[in-house]
Structures are given as structure tokens and as C-alpha cells.
Structure 1
Amino acid sequence: MSKKLNKLSLKTISAIALKSSLKSTKYQLIAALSILVATNPAHAETNFIDIDNQNSMGQVTSVNQLSDVSPTDWAYEALRSLVERYGCIVGYPDRTFRGNRALSRYEFAAGLNACMQSIERLIGTGGVSEEDIAALRRLIAEFETELAALGARVDNLEGRVAFLEDNQFSTTTKLAGEVAFTLADAFGGDVTNPTTGLREDFSAQTTFTSRVRLQMSTSFTGNDVLYTRLTAGNLENSFASQTFTNEGRFAYDGQAGNNLTLDRLHYYFSPTRNLRVFTMASLGGHHFYADTFNSGLEAGGGAGGALSRFGERNPIYRLGLGGQGLGLRTQLGDKFELSAGYLARGGNNPAEGRGLLNGNYSAMGQLVFKPSNRFKLGLTYINSYDPNGAGSAFNFGGTGTRFGNLQGLGLDGIPVASNSYGVQGQFDISPKFSLRAWGGYTNARLIETGSAEIWNYAVALAFPDLGKEGSLGAIIVGAEPYLTGLSVPNAVDFAKDTPLHVEVSYKYPINDRISLTPGLIVLTAPNQNSGANDPIYIGTLRTTFSF
């Protein structure tokens, strides 16, 4: 009889235990155990289990000794039976049971084992009646359907796990993607063509463009990551060919003809606890390793942040963009952070005047002061050199006026050494309102020719969760890089109007994977010349899919 009963009990235990494992409290364990050990109390022996396996007290002989158990508890009768009749439950030293505490599977198994040992002793001494066996058989029959269903579920889960293991993308690599569709148009009055010098009607057509990114993030040690990104698109330079300026270009433009390119290849690792190292073999940029003080709007050229390149960050971070190099970021105590890096466009080219050390370079240092989680301030310095210089190599990464990029001034081919200074900050006034601001000044030394002064600045207001969780409203007002002073012999005369950039956008999440971003960009004095150019308005509706 004992062997037969053991088999019956194990089947019953399996059904009840599997059902109970869907729950998570000690009271639910007690309810299951009480069914399993509902036998003659006269032959029960002392056999208790410390469910918590720590800070245990001796076995209690009455449920009333447990101060946090009352007759109104739903599992009170089951607990009283196990404590007073079978002695297989104990409590904490402070005489509490803590029945609503989370329960692990190990603890559940330990409780089952202790009470089953009590049953086995009863069987060995003949303390189990035919009525008890009949009751257990009824339980088995009751749970027969559940057992069959659970067995099928387990088989199904095992099959699915095996399929995932055989077909998983990688055990070390995560694949993320982003697709952006942009419906846009630009409007304006008259603009001056810098090539002909003639004033003409502004002409731009409505466009529907796309950009796709696929990025693989691979970790080899758990403390490092290798980024490999493929990009394709047909935005080209947004409306720059019609506006004759880089002002107002979309943050995520640049690709043409839907040609697929490997545009980012970076490897980051941490040799010490407080130091992060950033190696950039393709598409290096200072913003990859340094804080740019514009969370939510800074998307690294992605289609989930600000609409424009200027709206993402202080343009001085774009000096040297696109090269190869190294970045470092380290904590200095609790309130300070230091970032430093070196980039070289053409660093992969061994030709004369190129390479890492004999061509274009940009070296940056930045100190961040962060006294609280809501406020931070940064001071930035960048020293750069462009051997091909003014008119071609020197630029702010697709932002600013033509004069701000030293174009159209008769300075082509003159090497440029520059010192740039930036100050930027972010103050999260509340969870739903954040103020950001930056300013940048560049002193460009035209080798053996003269010098130029270039400024940019902006204030950004961000409204996280505006109207819906995950949304982001933004208002950005400032001036993209523009030339304010030029000291060279026989300098070309140029206008010095302030080229205000006003940007309003609202990112609305349809769900976790799709968002819509309508917005408007206004350029009040394109190419810093309000007399030659009327204001330009760029309207857009961006749809972003992420996966």
C-alpha cells in the first residue's frame, strides 16, 4: 500500500505544486501542503521546515504563537493544521510567520519535502486509512485534466526554447533598427543665389523621403560593446540646395540614393570602474563620448530627437565629425566628470597630409559639473586644424550659414587652425519641464592670412510626457554658427544679421514602436542676410518606426 500511495501522492503534489507555483506567497504554499497532509493526526511526528532558511526559531506548537497570523487570514485553518498537527512549519525569531512574503521555488520544494516525510512515516506505521487513500485518489482524478494540460504546456515550452536556441540571432549581439518616413516642404519669398549673386524666387517641392538604420550591439565581456551600423536613405542634404545654406537641415539626413553604407563602427570598453574608453574607426564624433546636455532631443543623428541638426546639440561638437579617433570619459568624485578625445578626418588615409597626425584633427576636453540629478553645467574646449581649410574642410557638420563655414569669402584652400569654446547646461525644473541652453565661440586663425570669429547659441525648452507618456514637445530658439568678424587683407564684405533659428516640434508616440513628429523650422535671416533673403519655413511630418 505504501508504494502505491507514494505514487498517488507524487502525482497529486505535482498538480498542486505546479498550480501553486503560479502564485508567490507563503500562505499559498500552506494551502497546498494542507491538502497533501490531511491524514490521521494521532500518528504524526515532529518534523518541521524553516521555509525562510534564515534567522529561524524552534518549532511552534500552536498557530497562536505566530503574532502576525489571525483567524481572519484565508489560509489560517491550513496553517493551524500544519503547525499543530504535523509540525512542519516554523517562523521567525520575532514569532512572526510573514505569510505574504514572496516565496521561491526552492522554498516551496523544501516545504513539500518536509510534509511528505511526515506522510511517509504515517504510511510506515499504518496510520493511513482506506478513506485517506480514497481521498488522494479523488484528488488525482480532480487534477488529471490540469496535469495533462501542464504536461502539454511544458512540452510546448521545451519545443519553443529549442527553436529559439537554434535560430537566435546571436548570444552576444542585439539588433536594433530605426526607419523614418518624412513628408516635408519648404516655403519662402526670395533668396539670393550665391553662385550667380542674383535674387530669385524660392523654389522647393514637397518631398517624401526615408532613412533606415540597422545597428548591431555586441558584447564580448559584459562590460564592453561593439557597435556596427548600416544606414541607407534618400534625404541627401534636406533643402540645402534650395535654401543655399546648411541652416535647418534635418538631424538624420546625409544619405543619398538609398545606398547602403557602414557608417558607424565603434568599440567601447571600461578598463577601470570610473573610466570609459571610446574607439571610433568610422564616423567618429565628440558627441558619442561627451555629454551634450540635451537629453531626449539629442539622438545622435537619429530620427527620434530634434528635427534639425542644430536642435540636437551645440554645433562645436560637430567639429571633426566623420573621422577616426579615441574618446575618454571618467568620473571625478560625485559631482564632476571629465571627457577628452581626438578625431582625425582622413585618419584612415596614409597619403601625405592625411592620416591620424598629419592632417585634419579635432581635440576636445570637457568638464561637467553636476551638483544634482536635475542640474548640470559643462565647459568645453576644442582645438582643431584643417589643412585644406576655409571653403571646403572647415565646417560645423552641416549646420550654420555659408559665411559661418568660411565659404563664399574668397578663402578657399587656406589652412585653418581654430580654438572653440562652449558652455552648455541643462536644468530639469520638473519631470515635465526642462530648460537647456548653450553658447559657442570659435576663433579661426587663417594661416598667414588673418582670422575670423564665429558664434552660435540657443535656448531649448523640452516638455516630456506632454499629453501622453513618452511624448516630447520642444521649442528651440537660437542662432546657428554665423560669422561676426573677419580680419584678412581685402576681405569680402558680408552681412552680419543674426540668423535666428526657431524650431517647434511635438513627438507623439502611437505605441512603443511608432511615433509621429510634426514640426516647423523658421529661418528668419538665411545666410545671415535678411536684406538678400526672405524668411524660410520648413514644415515636416516625421514617422519613426523603431524595433
Structure 2
Amino acid sequence: MPFLPRLLVTPAALGLLAPLAATAPAHAAEPNLEGVNHYASQEQVTGISQFSDVQPTSWAYQALSNLIERYGCVAGYPDGTYKGQRAMTRFEAAALLNACLDRVTEVTDELKRLMAEFEKELAVLKGRVDGLQAKVGELEASEFSTTTKLSGQATLVLGGAGNTGFGDNLTANYDLQLSVDTSFTRKDLLRTTLRAGNFGNAVFGNGNTALGISYGEEDSANSVFIDRLFYQFPIGENLTATVGANVAQDDIVLWPTAYPVDMGLDIFNYAGAQATYNKNQGAGVGLQWQKQGWAFSLAYVSDLGAASDSTLGAGDDFILTAQGTYSGENWGGAIAYTYADWDPFELFPTAASNNVAVSGYWQPLQAGWAPSISAGLGWSDIDRRNIDEAWSWMVGLTWEDVFIKGNSLGMALGSVGVQERGKCGTVGACSNSLWIDGGDGNDNLAYELWYNWQVTDTIAVTPAFFYIENTGADDTVGGMLKTTFSF
């Protein structure tokens, strides 16, 4: 409603005029011009506190305060009073309204001037707002749920590996993941992931942990299966709980590293401790507490394969992980412990192990010649046969915005260990082989180099090369070209 009609009909806004007609004598034919002139000549007050006779408990206090502070059109008497209970003549009211209307006219003229000055900019903004409203309407009309988001990733790999060159074992493989994320309270997460692929019989997915890659699912065999099914929800301000029928350790425990986990060989994706950190999946539960960069996690995950594989006993295999981390602006570190009721190296299914990891990372605040650095060390005590302990480590470097902004270059090296005695002689012929450091006092080393070309926001092409020094067997060399589609 315009200011003047609102002022004339709203009792709260007419606190200063209320006594006017009700108490003025009906026979007052002559105006009190002296009073009008006296009122109109007073200086406008700047704050309601200048009136000694206006109290916060007055019913018109807020209306009078708004007129003073927003429009500056209220005057008082020389003695510092407002005399709100005194009757006003129509001429006195006209003087007051005239003062207020002058102020409103000034404000309106100023707004008109600003609108004229920024007319083009306002037209552009209006067009953008109309366009955004139309797009929002289209999205709301086409979305299948207001609480659920569908995302996916398709990975295509062409490559090979062998003892003498890439051509020994050429392979073309794919991996497809579709994740459905649902939130009921905007703070929780229900995740369901469907997955399919054909890395099971490939050189990069044959069970050999030295050749496996992080983005290939060995057990998919061109069949769609449920890869994740878990629910996360907050408990209070800093605590998050996770429960699931098919959950992995890294869904609960965040591995501390700045090295990308989906570029090359799988052995570099465990912060240098591929027993403490592992990809065991199954029914699980976990808690994570976070505050001011500190985080403490506790996770229990059963072995998904134990229930269907009679060779693993009664199906009660599990891992129990505890981790403490700190993450600053550009660095972080962690120490973690995992008790496994089975061998995380997957060589001795009935063996238990104690595993400890220490890891950390540093990354520059801005892209430049200095790379991000990730490093980690792992130790395992395996209660089985002639292997008492195992060591592993890795160092990874990553440069951002290399050659073209958005692209990255990375390399890593680390110990992938030695094969357990009596297993097999060459990498290509090995199945279920164990790669650890300390089995016979000799070290094996692995190297990888990759370049990630971000073609678009959703398409990336990554060539990668690797080399593995084998103790007691031929060295392994290989490479791959990976194309990733994200949607």
C-alpha cells in the first residue's frame, strides 16, 4: 500500500495524530496558526529518545520511531517533549503530513534517478532472473525425485602388461558405476550403487595386487550387482554414524592422502599401507567424530565373500579399524590400526593380522612448480606360517595445472613386497600371489607415471605407464589409456 494511504488508515502509524478529531472542539472555526507555525518551524528530531514524554510502553512508540528514523519528518517542542496526548487541529496535522510527504518525495525522486541510471543493468538482471526461473521450472518438472540424485561414472581402459612389453597381455575393459544418493533431512545420506564391468579376467584385474587397478571390479563379470548400500546420518553436531548391508572401510574411514585414488595401479591407493587400509566390503557399522580439522573414526566391516565361500570358514571374517587424523588448510596426517580376522593380503584366508599405518600429505595453496606430496608407511603382523611381519610404503607426487589449466601430472613409487615362497615365478602366471616386503628380506619396487587430460568437465583421458621390479622373477612393464565419463 502507498505510504500516504497507509499513514491515514493505520492506527499504529497515526500515533501522533490520534487525538486530532476526537478531542478537538467542534466549534473551533479559527485555526491556531501560531501553533502551526511554531510546530512547523522546529528542527526535526533524529531519534525518539529525544522525547522525554514518549515511553517504550506507549502503543504508538514503534510507529513514531519509524517516522523519525526512516523519514525524519517529526518535530518536537522546545522543552524536549512531543505532547502526544494533546489534541491537534487539522491545520497542525496538515503541516505534519506536508513535512512527511516532502521527505517521501525526496526518497522517490532519488529512487527514480537511480533506476534511470541503472536501467540497462536492471533490465539484464531481470532477464537473467526470468531465465533462471524458467530453468528451475523445467528441472522441477523433469526430476524424478526432490530428495534423490543420480550420478554415474563409466571407465574404459585399453592397455597391456607383461615381462617384456605391453603386447604380452593386451586387454580392453570397462567399469560402470551408477550411484543413487537420497537425503531425507538434507543432513543424511542413503547411497545405493549399482556396478558392472569385465575386469575379472583381465591382466589388470586377475587377483594380482601388483597389477590391479583401482577403478576395475574383479568380480563383476559383465553382471550388474549392488556395490554399495549404506545409510549415514548425524548424531548431534559433530558425530556421524554409518550403517549398511554392503559398506566398505573407506565409506567410513577417510584415507589421508592427496594422491588421486583412481589414476593407476591399485597398490598406490592405500596411503602406503595396503593392509591397514583395504577394500574389504560387507555388512558394517561405523562412527566418525569431526571438529576443527580433527577426526576420529571407528569402523567394523564384515567380509562380504565369507558367507558364500566355504573355504573361509563360518563366514564371520571381519576387520576393525580405528583412526585419528588432522587435516589443516593444505596438509594432514593420520595414524590408524586395523585388526583383521582374515589376511588382508588374501593369501591366507584363515590367518589373523594386526596392521598399523602412519601417513600424511602436503599440498601447495596454489598450483605451481611445487607438487603435492603424499607418503605413508604400513606394518603388518600376520599370524601364519613363515611370515611374521610385512612392510609397505609409498610416496606420491602430483602437479596441478600442467601445460593446460585443469590437467594434472603424477608419479608414485613404493614397495610392493615379495612373493611368498613356493607360489609362482612370474607376474603373468601368478594367481593369488602375495606382494609384501619382508618375506625373505628383499624388496620389490613399483613405479608409475600418468597424465590426466581433462577434455571437458565430464570427460577425462589418462595415459599411464608403470614398471615393477620383481625379486626372483622377471620385471613387469605395462601401460594403459583410460577414458572416464562422469555424469
* Same fold per superposition (TM over 0.5): yes
Contact 1:453 1:485 in 2 (8 A): no
Q: Is the 8 A contact 1:445 1:452 kept in 2?
A: yes
User: Following the alignment from structure 1 to structure 2, what is the Cα–Cα distance between the partners of residues 319 and 55?
Assistant: 70
Q: Distance in 2 between matches of 1:207 and 1:458?
A: 27
Aligned to 1:43: none
- Seen in structure 2, the aligned counterparts of structure 1 residues 514 and 471 have a Cα distance that, compared at 3 Å, is same
1:337 aligns with 2:295: yes
Gaps spanning 5+ residues in structure 2: where? 1-65, 74-100, 423-437
Aligned to 1:252: 215
Note the alpha carbon deviations across 1:368-399, whole angstroms, 9 max, x for none.
134x311211001111112xxxxxxx234xxx
Structure-2 residue corresponding to 1:68: none
Residues 257-284 of structure 1: per-residue CA shift (max 9 Å, x gap): 32111111111111111011122311x3
Q: Structure 1 counterpart of 2:180, which letter?
A: M
Shift of 1:442: 0.2
**Distance verdict in 2 for CA 1:221–1:416, change over 3 Å:** same
- Confirm whether residue 502 of structure 1 aligns to residue 442 of structure 2: no
SS of corresponding position for 2:298? strand
Amino acid of the residue matched to residue 351 of structure 2? Answer: V
User: C-alpha displacement at 1:165, in angstroms?
Assistant: 4.0
In structure 2, what is the equivalent of residue 312 of structure 1? 269
Out of 268, 285, 301, the position equivalent to 2:248 is 285
SS at 2:160's partner residue?
A: strand
Residue 265 of structure 1 aligns with which residue? 229
Q: How many pairs does the alignment contain?
A: 367
Counterpart of 1:325 in structure 2 is 284
Instruction: Show the counterpart of 2:106.
Output: 87
Q: Return the offset for 1:166.
A: 4.4
Which residue, out of 175, 181, 194, partners 2:156? 181
Which blocks of at least 5 consecutive residues in structure 1 are unaligned? 1-52, 61-81, 92-96, 109-142, 191-201, 299-304, 387-393, 397-404, 407-411, 487-492
Check conservation: 1:306, 1:312, Cα contact below 8 A.
no
State whether structure 2 residue 220 is matched by structure 1 residue 275: no
- Of 506, 511, 534, 2:456 maps to 511
Which amino acid in structure 2 is aligned with residue 426 of structure 1? Answer: Y
* Whole-Å separation in 1 of the counterparts to 2:421 and 2:200: 31
Checking the alignment, whether the CA contact within 8 Å between 2:199 and 2:205 is kept in structure 1 is no
1:428: Cα distance to partner? 1.2
How far apart in 2 are the matches of 1:157 and 1:427? 40
Q: Is the 8 A contact 2:407 2:451 kept in 1?
A: yes
AA of the residue aligned to 2:289: T
Instruction: Provide the rounded CA distance (Å) in 1 between the counterparts of 2:379 and 2:373.
Output: 21
Select which of 222, 244, 260 maps to 1:297: 260
- In structure 2, do the counterparts of structure 1 residues 353 and 484 end up closer, same or farther at CA, with 3 Å as the change threshold? closer
TM-score (norm 2): 0.65
Match of 2:381 in 1: 443
Structure 1 residues 83 and 261: CA distance shift in structure 2, 3 A: farther
1:420 paired to 2:355 = yes
Structure 2 Cα separation of the partners of residues 520 and 341 of structure 1 = 34
Write out per-residue CA displacement over residues 162-184 of structure 1, whole angstroms, 9 at most, x where no aligned residue: 66444322111101011111111
The 1:286/1:189 distance shift into structure 2, 3 A limit, reads same
| Other structure's SS at 2:275 match | helix
- Among residues 368, 376, 381, which one is paired with 2:332 in the alignment? 376
Q: Distance in 1 between matches of 2:277 and 2:478?
A: 23
Q: Structure 1 counterpart of 2:159, which letter?
A: A
Counterpart CA distance in 2 for 1:479 and 1:380 is: 19
What is the letter of the counterpart of residue 344 of structure 2? N
SS at match of 2:146: coil
Alpha carbons 1:187, 1:204 under 8 Å: kept: yes
Q: Is the 8 A contact 1:250 1:307 kept in 2?
A: yes
Letter of the structure 2 residue corresponding to residue 323 of structure 1: G
Q: Identity rate of aligned residues, in percent?
A: 23
How far the C-alpha of 1:472 sits from its partner, in A, is 2.2
Q: Matches of 1:204 and 1:353 in 2, distance apart?
A: 33
Q: Which residue of 1 aligns with 2:144?
A: 169
Deviations 1:204-243 (A, max 9, x none): 332222111111110011110111111111122541688x
Cα distance, 1:335 vs structure 2 = 4.5
Report matched runs for 1:516-531 at 5 Å: 516-525=461-470, 529=471, 531=472
After superposition, the CA RMSD in angstroms is: 4.2
For 1:546, the equivalent position in structure 2 comes to: 486
CA 1:479–1:99 in structure 2 vs 1: closer, same or farther (change >3 Å)?
Answer: farther
Q: What CA distance in whole angstroms lies between the structure 2 residues aligned with 1:173 and 1:345?
A: 29
Superposition deviation, residue 542 in structure 1: 0.6
> Under a length normalisation based on structure 1, what TM-score does the superposition of the two structures give?
0.58
One-letter amino acid of the structure 1 residue matched with residue 253 of structure 2: A
Q: 1:349 to 1:436 in 2, by over 3 A?
A: same
Shift of the alpha carbon at 1:452? Answer: 2.1
